[in-house]
Structure 1
Amino acid sequence: MTVRSARNIGWLGLFGPAALMLVMAGCRSMSAQPVVTARPAPSPLALPLTAPATTDSFPHEAKKSVPPTTSAVPKPPAESKFPQRGFRPIMPANPDKTDAGKPAEGSLTLPRSEGSAAKDEDDFDSAPPPITRDNQLPRTEAIPKITPGDVTVPQLVELGVYAPLRRKVGTPATFQIAIRNTGDRPQEQLVIRCRFDDTFAFSGSDKQEVRRTLDHLGPGETRDMALTLSSDVVGSHCCWFVVSRLEGAEEVELTSKQVCVDYVVRQVDIEIVGPHQRTEGSRAEFTVNLTNTSDRSIRDARVVVTYDKALLPRELSEGADQRPGQLTWTLGELPSSEQVQLQLEFECRTQAHRACLTVEVQGTNLSNNTDEACVEIVPVRGTLDLRVSDDVDPLPVGKVGKFQITVENIGLQAARRVALEATATENLKIVAAHVRSAGSDVPLSHKLDGNKIVFDLMDQLDPGTHLVYTIEVEALRKGTAEVRASLTSGLSSTPVLTAEPTIIVP
């Protein structure tokens, strides 16, 4: 295969003729119910499932601890045996002008009505008097009350499933499964079941369900698993994931989710690797791999990337034609089996549940091929900001790359007992690590346990200061890899989690 790499990238009222009587009865409070949304992910974890002898286990799982944040740090050019396209920063048209203080493009500011504009702001500080009859206060029985039956109990186990939106017929689709204990007590005897369409195949098994048990899931702990299925049938194929708790001989369902993948016939295979979550103001880097899997060349090939307003391009593979909300690369002829790689780094401008980019490959003798990847943009949690970046992407097998994990105290008080640990996927080997702050080495020791590294406590991190943990890894096998970091401190008992994916090439 020839590879071309582009780098661097109601209320009820009764009215009488002479009196107004307000009846308030039978009112129940309404509480918002959680809506579960299947969110696809662009990049599979490098923990694929192999066919078990029975359907009672997922072969691979990885422990970790809670939610993410992060951003990519600008990288130097990668060393690669393939020709590189320059990965250049995008400078603002006018450096003297910024978007600070302005609402995000596309946002709506609601005007005040004339009546409200005339009111003094102090009028809003006091509630209106209750509606009464004959100057009598309303009976307390008439006032709506929240009763235990009206209270919605938060779900203490969260289930996240991420999968590609589309796959080419005959190719595998990897479902990334994340189970998180959001409560303050351990969860015991959990069962995870996955049932899938008969159009899906699980390598080495003719069953349509797999099952995995978790004996213990500590407070704030997250378990990751990966399930790889394939299909030779065109259409939308679905999987149903259920998390239950064993109570005696019964399984009590806690949460569930359905995720579907569209299998299509297309000439160009599109793979988008990027983060699932980032913090507001940080950066998200996406790598797009395109492969001509047909037996003929594609003439006048072009790659068109459209993106949401919450994303702002900052660094791109060279050759991009930039227009508002759209990026275009002209590739020319794309021979059979040839691969092209593009890299895009975006600033995460505003909070968004799904900030997406869509990749479309066009050609004169090619029907349109599209795929999509999304990232959730969340606010920074707490006073410690955690970000991860890599310096070489893609990383060739046998070569050593670096991941930088940055911890910054953005609060007004010192953070004490700052502890960091990181875990690498199985196709990476941790070979070295060190810590620096303000350009100087910090004497923090670490312990290495397989693919997990645990650093000693940092006694104190003052406001406005940061630590940079550098972890060197060796690439062992081709595929998607990831380094995940978990941060705790005396400021919060809930860990902060973030991750950075990368691609390993032959």
Structure 2
Amino acid sequence: MPGSQIRPFSKPTSGMLLLLMLTAVVSACSSLAPGQRSSWKLTNPPPLDPQNESLENPPQNPTSQSRETQRVNPETIRQKQPQNSEPEKDLFAVPESVNRNLPPQPRDLPERISPRPELKRPDYLKKSPQSKSGPKLQSGPKMTAPATTGPLELSVDVIPKRQLGSGATFYVIAKNVGDRAVRNVLVECEFDTEFLFPGRREKKIGQRLGTLQPGESKEISLTLYSDILGNHCCRFRAIANGEELVWKSVCVEYEKKQLDLSVIGPSLRTVGSRAEYIVKLSNVSDVDLNNIQAVISYDAVFVPREASIGSERETGQLKWSLDKIRKGEGVQLQVEFDCEVAAEHACLQVMVSSPELPNEQASACLKVAPLQGVLDVRVRDTKDPITRGEETTYEVSIENRGLQPARDISLQAKIPRMFRVVSVEAHQGNQKLNLRPEVNQNILKVSPVRELPADAFLRYTILVKSISSGDGEFEVTISGADAKKLVTRVSEPTTVNR
């Protein structure tokens, strides 16, 4: 085993020498550096770690690595459904009217719409200026084309084919091509009954764009879902001062779901910490899926440090060629980023493509906050993902960045339902502390540390064992005697496979 010592024997026989040579070979093979490990199938994983490779020291021969797959039961794969989240604050429902050609009354609309951060349009949409979805018989009210050409141009981009349950994101650009400012610009969208906008029952929504100066353009995006097969359409129109100037109709064809895609990651990090994301791809069809390519695009705020074996790094992107995903199997990709600067809305986007499938996409965003208060709290799990019955350790590090000692430091942690706590240890510097941990209904509490001097470190190691499979989030709350300055909450997502 790695690190074991073999004492020399006096007058060794040839058989004993052969045994020693074989032992040395086994030890060498089992102690490869993290960037040189071969990948393995999750159906029979020999080690516990996620088989990531450093992006700074890639392996010598990455093409020889096999892919990481997991045998899953197709009937038990959880389908991703649109969340019933709170309605978007910058979108409003357009009230129904007997005369659908009449614009909505201003009193029914909000006075001011605050802008929201937008994801960048994917490159594959930028290459095709407009969607070429074919027309169909409209199931909802039709719009009448304007009698004359107005000063506004309207373009709508969308992936023309989607899987059932997946979101179709429409990227809408309104541009003033005239020589005068256009005021009180309003964009409305009316969509077929087969489409669902989470959090709303209406089938018509809108957003104010305000004033567009000559040559100015503004972009908005809208994501709709559908669980009904077929071709579903949206009708966009731009209105200025109550007059419809331009409209556009775009359709999306929904097909049977074959590949399930999800992204698991944190929603908040502090400057200088790391953010780990797991991308899950599951074949839910009854045939093998071939020539799968996965691309992770990320904002400049993220600095990639580690990624699953087989990745190809380009500017702002990581790519994997997955070849084949057999029916009933899944692939997990993992990437870790350094968060070096503050950002209110930092996003990554995952695009999966194949000649046999509609392009599938998913995204995740987080806030990178500057350090506040006197305690710098960071959390990481040492092994993720793991399989049921295995163990992992949560490491919680606390640094007192203040000029005075911090007093009565307490830790409380919400343990994911998939785990039970095995042990808890705390160290201040090199000294092990004698603390009393207790667990009650997955809430771990540890007795306070009386004093943490300035510039000193406090480290907790919480060993847990998985008792079931699933995705969960370890959330830790650190508090002190001065609650206003010392309360800090940090979380870390973890995945347990079957």
TM-score w.r.t. the length of structure 1 is 0.52
2-side partners of 1:234 and 1:357: how far apart? Answer: 29
TM alignment of 1:31-50, pairs within 5 A: none
Asked if 1:173 corresponds to 2:77, the answer is no
- Larger RCO: 1 or 2 (CA < 8 Å, sep 6+): 1
How far the C-alpha of 1:352 sits from its partner, in A, is: 1.4
2-side partners of 1:268 and 1:360: how far apart? Answer: 12
Is the contact made by 1:236 and 1:260 (CA closer than 8 Å) also made in structure 2? no
1-side partners of 2:491 and 2:409: how far apart? Answer: 18
* Among 492, 496, 500, the residue aligned to 2:488: 496
How far the C-alpha of 1:405 sits from its partner, in A, is: 1.1
Q: What is the match of residue 312 of structure 2? A: 321
Is the contact made by 1:428 and 1:481 (CA closer than 8 Å) also made in structure 2? no
1:473 aligns to what SS in structure 2? strand
1-side partners of 2:322 and 2:373: how far apart? Answer: 45
How far the C-alpha of 1:417 sits from its partner, in A, is: 1.3
Is the contact made by 2:285 and 2:327 (CA closer than 8 Å) also made in structure 1? yes
Is the contact made by 1:303 and 1:362 (CA closer than 8 Å) also made in structure 2? yes
2:327 aligns to what SS in structure 1? coil
Q: What is the match of residue 236 of structure 2? A: none
Is the contact made by 1:78 and 1:391 (CA closer than 8 Å) also made in structure 2? no
Q: What is the match of residue 247 of structure 1? A: none
How far the C-alpha of 1:231 sits from its partner, in A, is: 6.8
2:341 aligns to what SS in structure 1? coil
Deviation string, structure 1 residues 127-159 (Cα, Å, up to 9, x no partner): xxxxxxxxxxxxxxxxxxxxxxxxxxxxxxxxx
* Distance change (3 Å), C-alpha of 1:488 and 1:363: same
Q: What is the match of residue 295 of structure 1? A: 286
1-side partners of 2:443 and 2:41: how far apart? Answer: 26
Q: Percent identity?
A: 28
2-side partners of 1:334 and 1:170: how far apart? Answer: 17
How far the C-alpha of 1:83 sits from its partner, in A, is: 7.4
Letter in 1 for 2:79: T
How far the C-alpha of 1:364 sits from its partner, in A, is: 2.2
Is the contact made by 2:80 and 2:260 (CA closer than 8 Å) also made in structure 1? no
Q: What is the match of residue 198 of structure 2? A: 238
1-side partners of 2:375 and 2:325: how far apart? Answer: 46
Is the contact made by 1:239 and 1:260 (CA closer than 8 Å) also made in structure 2? no
1-side partners of 2:259 and 2:495: how far apart? Answer: 19
* Among 456, 462, 469, the residue aligned to 2:453: 462
How far the C-alpha of 1:454 sits from its partner, in A, is: 1.1
Is the contact made by 2:344 and 2:368 (CA closer than 8 Å) also made in structure 1? yes
TM-score w.r.t. the length of structure 2 is 0.53
2-side partners of 1:79 and 1:399: how far apart? Answer: 16
TM alignment of 1:382-401, pairs within 5 A: 382-401=373-392
Structure 1 residue runs of 5 or longer lacking an equivalent are 1-7, 10-76, 94-168, 179-229, 242-258
2-side partners of 1:334 and 1:433: how far apart? Answer: 40
2-side partners of 1:415 and 1:300: how far apart? Answer: 56
Is the contact made by 2:85 and 2:198 (CA closer than 8 Å) also made in structure 1? no
Greater Cα shift, 302-311 or 345-354? 345-354
1-side partners of 2:380 and 2:40: how far apart? Answer: 14
Asked if 1:82 corresponds to 2:82, the answer is no
Letter in 2 for 1:238: P
Letter in 1 for 2:54: P
Q: What is the match of residue 347 of structure 1? A: 338
Q: What is the match of residue 262 of structure 1? A: 225
How far the C-alpha of 1:175 sits from its partner, in A, is: 4.7
Is the contact made by 2:85 and 2:199 (CA closer than 8 Å) also made in structure 1? no
Is the contact made by 1:304 and 1:327 (CA closer than 8 Å) also made in structure 2? yes
Asked if 1:505 corresponds to 2:468, the answer is no
Structure with more helix by fraction = 2
How far the C-alpha of 1:468 sits from its partner, in A, is: 1.1
* Distance change (3 Å), C-alpha of 1:364 and 1:172: closer
TM alignment of 1:94-493, pairs within 5 A: 171-173=79-81, 175=83, 235-239=195-199, 262-263=225-226, 265=255, 266-493=257-484
1:350 aligns to what SS in structure 2? coil
1-side partners of 2:80 and 2:54: how far apart? Answer: 35
How far the C-alpha of 1:409 sits from its partner, in A, is: 1.1
Count of residues in correspondence between the two structures: 289
How far the C-alpha of 1:491 sits from its partner, in A, is: 3.8
* Distance change (3 Å), C-alpha of 1:433 and 1:88: same
How far the C-alpha of 1:92 sits from its partner, in A, is: 8.8
How far the C-alpha of 1:373 sits from its partner, in A, is: 0.8
Letter in 2 for 1:82: P
* Distance change (3 Å), C-alpha of 1:461 and 1:307: same
Structure 2 residue runs of 5 or longer lacking an equivalent are 1-33, 59-76, 87-163, 167-192, 202-221, 227-253
* Distance change (3 Å), C-alpha of 1:437 and 1:332: same
How far the C-alpha of 1:240 sits from its partner, in A, is: 6.2
Letter in 2 for 1:386: V
How far the C-alpha of 1:349 sits from its partner, in A, is: 1.9
RMSD: 3.2
How far the C-alpha of 1:465 sits from its partner, in A, is: 1.5
2:479 aligns to what SS in structure 1? strand
1:386 aligns to what SS in structure 2? strand
How far the C-alpha of 1:456 sits from its partner, in A, is: 1.2
1:327 aligns to what SS in structure 2? strand
How far the C-alpha of 1:89 sits from its partner, in A, is: 2.2
1:239 aligns to what SS in structure 2? coil
1:493 aligns to what SS in structure 2? helix
2-side partners of 1:314 and 1:505: how far apart? Answer: 24
